[in-house]
Amino acid sequence: MPDPSTYRPAAGTIPDTPGVYRFYDPSGRVIYVGKAKSLRQRLSSYFADLWTLHSRTQQMVTTASRVDWVTVGTEVEALQLEYNWIKAYDPRFNVRYRDDKSYPYLAVTLDEAYPRLQVMRGAKRKGVRYFGPYAHAWAIREVLDLLLRVFPARTCSSGVFKRAGQIGRPCLLGYIGKCSAPCVDRVSEDEHRQIVEAFCDFMAGRTDTMMKQLEREMYQASDELDFERAARLRDDVGALRRAMEKQAVVLGDGTDADVVAFADDPLEAAVQVFHVRGGRVRGQRGWIVEKTEDLTPGDLVHHFCTQIYGSEAGAEAADLPRELLVPELPADVDALADWLTRLRGSRVAIRVPQRGDKKTLAETVARNAEQALQQHKLRRAGDLSTRSKALEEIAEALGMQTAPLRIECYDVSQIQGTDVVASMVVFEDGLSRKSEYRRFAINGATDDVSAISEVLRRRFARYLDAKVEIDEAAEADPSRPGIDPTTGRPRKFAYPPQLVVVDGGQPQVQAAAQVLLDLGIDDITICGLAKRLEEVWLPDDEFPVILPRASEGLYLLQRVRDEAHRFAITYHRQKRSKRMTASTLDTVPGLGEIRRKALLRHFGSLKRLKAASLDEIAEVPGIGRRTAEAVLIALGGELPPGAAGPTTTPGPSSSPAAPMDDAGPDSAAATSEPDDARPESVADSPEQVGFRPESVAGSPEQVEAGDARPEAVGGLEQVGFRPASAAGSPEQVEAGDARPEAVGGLEHVGFRTEPAVGGPGQVEAAERGFVRIEPAG
C-alpha cells in the first residue's frame, strides 16, 4: 500500500493559484481529477493525517503513487479543464452520476431526411432532439398516440419505411390518418419536416399558439360550412388538451427551469431533478452517486452541473434551461454560471428559491430525493461495505497483500472445437466495468486449455507493448501518459489486473500461470473457479481453496465467472449463427458480404432480386455487368440474348506448361455418377446443361465430324464444346495429326473440357479430347 508521504510534493512547490490536479496509481492510470481555486490549500488537505480523512479519500490517497497539477488563469478555465479530463480519463474515484434506472425520452431524429418520433434510451447523440425524460415508456406512447392526430409524423423504423416505399403501400398508421405517409410521397420532404417542427414547438411549451391556430381554423371551416373538417379540427383540439392535462402546471409564469435537490448520507447521495418547460413538468430524472470525499450540497451542485449538463450540451444545447434552482450555491457559482452560459449560448442563472411556487416545487423535489435514497438503501443495503468485505476475503484466501481492485476473468466457449471464442470481463471495486470488456476469436485451439493459453498470451503481450509505449509517451508528454495519441482515449490493455480468474480447474490455472511465467510477469495473482463444487484453484497447489458457501468473496467470484460465461457464449452464438446462415448469393464468385448487403438493401428481398432484370441488377452501386450476370445465373434467371455469362479466363496459350482446368480421366472417374455429366459452372439454358459454351461454331454433329470452326457463338444449337488451343478434328487427334498448342497433356489434345461429372462412357470421351453431353431431360 503506497504511503501518501512518499509522493507528497515538497513544501513551497504547490502554487497558490487556480488549477486542476490529478492523482495516479502505480501503473500510471489517472484515478482522481479535481479542481481548486487555490491548489496549495486543496492539495495540502489530502496529505493530512489519514484518520482525519473521509474513508473513500483514504482509499484514494493510499492507492495513488503520485500527483501532478496544471495551473490556469481563471476558475472558468479550471472548470472546463476538469470536465475535459474527467471525460477523457474516467477516473474511478471521481463522483459518478449513475442512473438509478434508465429513463426513456421522446426523441425526434432531426438529422434524418424524414425525421422520426420514437422512444429512445441510453446516450444522447447529435442531431436528435429529446423531450423528457419520462418515468415510463408507456407514458411517451400515450402522449404520441394523442398527438399523432394533430402531427402525423413518421414513427416507423428505417426498414419498415424503406419497404413501404418499395411496395408502394403505407403502413396501418398511414391509412388511419396518424401518419402523413412520406414513404409513398403523400407529402414532400419539406412538408413532413414542417409537421415535425410544429410537433417540436408544441412539446417545447409553445402550446397556446398551436391551440389558438387550430381553434381559428375550426371556426373558419365552420363558417365555410365545411363541417367535416371543423369536426376533425375539434377532435384535434381535444387531443391536444388531453395531452396537456397529463403535464400539470407548477409555475404559472411559464418558467423554463431545472429544479435540483439532494439527499445524502456520509457514503452516498441521491439526486433528483424536475425539468420544467413553459411552467409544466416535462420530465423527471434521478441519480445515485458515491461520495469520494466529504461533499457539501454546494459541491454536489458543482459535480451535477459539470457532469450532467457538460455531457448533454454536446448532444443538444436546448436541454440547458434558462434557470437552475438548487438547494445551495456552490463556491464557484459565478464561474459555473459563466461556463453554462457558454454551453447554452445565452444566459443561465443559478438561484436558490426563497418563496412562492418555486420554493414549494423545490421542497417537492427534495422529498422525492429522500424517498429515492431510502429505496436505494433498501435495495442495496450495505452494498459498499459488502463489496469491500468480499475483496478482503478474496485477498485473504488467495494470500494477496492488498485487495484486488481490478479483477479480470476469462472464459472459453466452443462446440467440439468449432467457433472457438473467449471473453475477458473486468470488475473494478467489485463492480463490472463493461467499457473494458473484450472478446477474442481463436483459431487453431481445440480445447479450453490451449485456448486459455492463447488468450492470455495475446492479452498480456499487448499489456507489455502498451507499457513500453506509455513509458515513451510519458517522456514525450508527461501530462497524458495513459492516453493513446492516435485516438485521444485511454489505451487498451494498458492496465494490469491484480487478480486473473479463469473459468476452470487446475489444468486451466496451470496453463494461465505458465503463460505469465513465459512473459516474465510475476506480480499478478491467478486462480481458477471450478463449476462443480465452486472450488478455487491456485497454481502448483495440490488441493483447492474452499471458500464458505455464504462467503461474500465466493459470491463475487461467482458473479465475475458468470458474467464472463455470459459474454463468451453470446459471442459464440453470434459466430455460429453467422456461419450456419447461408444464402444463395454466397455461392456467387466475386460477390462479397458488402455487395450482397447492397443488393438486398436495394431490392428489399431475395424474391425481388430474382425477378429483377440484368440491367436493374447492374445499376446497383458496386455491381458491374459481369457480376450482375453471375448473380442472375446463380438465382436461376435467364440472360438476355447476346450476354455470354461469366467466363473463366484461360491461362496464356503460349506456355505448354500452363495449368489447365480440364476434367481428365482421373478426376472424371473419381466423381462419376450414373446421371448425365454436369459441370461445376452453371449453364445458361437447359439445353446447355453439362458444358460451358465458349467461342465455337457448329453443331455437335459437325464437331464430331471435325468440321467445327472456332468462331463466335452462333446460336444455342451451335453451342456445345469449349475448344482448347489446338488444331485438328477428333479423327486427326486419333491419328496423331493434331497440332498441340498450349495444352496441359497429350490426353487433352484437341479440345478443352470443363470439369465434369459423368458416366464411364463420358469419361472415355474425355480421354479423347471432348465430352459429349446430351440435353438434360
**How does pLDDT run across 209-222, given as a tens digit for each residue?**
777 777 888 888 88
CATH class of 386-578: alpha beta
CATH class of 584-634: mainly alpha
As its CATH architecture, domain 257-379 has 2-Layer Sandwich (3.30)
Q: What is the mean pLDDT of residues 334-344?
A: 85
Q: What is the mean pLDDT of residues 283-304?
A: 80
Q: What is the mean pLDDT of residues 708-716?
A: 40
Model confidence at 446: pLDDT above 80: no
Range in 44-48, 521-525, 672-676 with the lowest mean pLDDT: 672-676
- Collapse the DSSP code of 631 into the 3-class scheme (helix H, G, I; strand E, B; otherwise coil) and give the result: helix
Instruction: Give which of 33, 135, 14 is closest to 79, Cα–Cα.
Output: 33
Range in 105-109, 181-185, 423-427 with the lowest mean pLDDT: 105-109
Averaged pLDDT score across all residues of the chain: 74
State residue 453 phi and psi, 5-degree precision.
-60, -45
pLDDT at 773: 42
pLDDT at 265: 77
Q: What is the mean pLDDT of residues 26-48?
A: 85
**Which has more pLDDT, 605 or 723?**
605
As its CATH architecture, domain 4-94 has 3-Layer(aba) Sandwich (3.40)
Report the 10 Å Cβ neighbour count for 163: 16
Range in 24-28, 121-125, 425-429, 484-488 with the lowest mean pLDDT: 484-488
Grade residue 527 by pLDDT with cuts at 50, 70 and 90: very high
pTM of the predicted structure, to 2 decimals:
0.44
For residues 139 and 145, give the distance between their C-alpha atoms in angstroms, rounded to a whole number. 10
Model confidence at 143: pLDDT above 70: yes
pLDDT at 558: 87
Hey, which bits of 291-379 come out as E strands?
323-325, 349-351
1-10, 158-167, 668-677, 679-688: which has the highest mean pLDDT? 158-167
For residues 380 and 378, give the distance between their C-alpha atoms in angstroms, rounded to a whole number. 6
Instruction: Give which of 740, 744, 750, 737 is closest to 708, Cα–Cα.
Output: 750
- What percent of the chain stands above pLDDT 90? 5
Model confidence at 761: pLDDT above 60: no
- To 10 degrees, what angle do helices 552-580 and 383-398 make? 90
Q: What is the mean pLDDT of residues 84-90?
A: 79
Q: What is the mean pLDDT of residues 329-339?
A: 86
- Collapse the DSSP code of 556 into the 3-class scheme (helix H, G, I; strand E, B; otherwise coil) and give the result: helix
Model confidence at 501: pLDDT above 90: yes
Instruction: Give which of 521, 420, 504, 411 is closest to 462, Cα–Cα.
Output: 521
All three cell numbers of 301, joined, read 451542485
pLDDT at 315: 41
Model confidence at 173: pLDDT above 60: yes
Model confidence at 617: pLDDT above 60: yes
Grade residue 335 by pLDDT with cuts at 50, 70 and 90: confident
Q: Residue 686 is which amino acid?
A: P
CA distances in angstroms from 510 to 345, 417, 463, 540, listed in the order given: 60, 21, 20, 7
